[in-house]
Structure 1
Amino acid sequence: MEIRIGIANTGRELAFSSSETAEDVRTAVAKALDGGASHVPFSDEKGNTYIVPTAGLAYVEIGTEEQRRVGFVG
């Protein structure tokens, strides 16, 4: 699933693919924001970890968990 994170006062966004479910990502972000955590960690499919400060979060866009189709669309 594709995750895009907008960071305040930055012209670019952080985009990566994750093997986590949409619900897991939503829960982790909500828990970090509600609990007053200073950061929220994310992991991508390659094993990289991104630590994003919660004070700088502008938005978190969580893509769909739909499998990619193979072949031609008619």
Structure 2
Amino acid sequence: MKRMVVQRITAGLLLLIGFLAMAASHTFPFLDDLSEPAESAVAIGGAACLLAGVWLWLRKPADRSSAPSAGDGESP
């Protein structure tokens, strides 16, 4: 359960960074002073953060065992 919370928090931070980078690359005029490769790096970094965030958010937690244990309270 704790691993899932950490995974969601990390995904949320990556999504936030990605959205901010993509918005900055299209909106803010201070990026006009940067060179073309630097602007591309901001856009590519933002896209990578967005993809990693989505991947972490949708990722299913790995089960520790293939069969449910007798004491976990679930019926087969």
**Does TM, normalized by the shorter one, top 0.5?**
no
Q: Give the TM-score taking structure 2 as reference length.
A: 0.32
When Rg is computed on C-alpha atoms for both structures, the one with the higher figure is 2
TM-score (norm 1): 0.33
Structure with the largest fraction of helix: 2
Structure having the higher strand fraction is 1
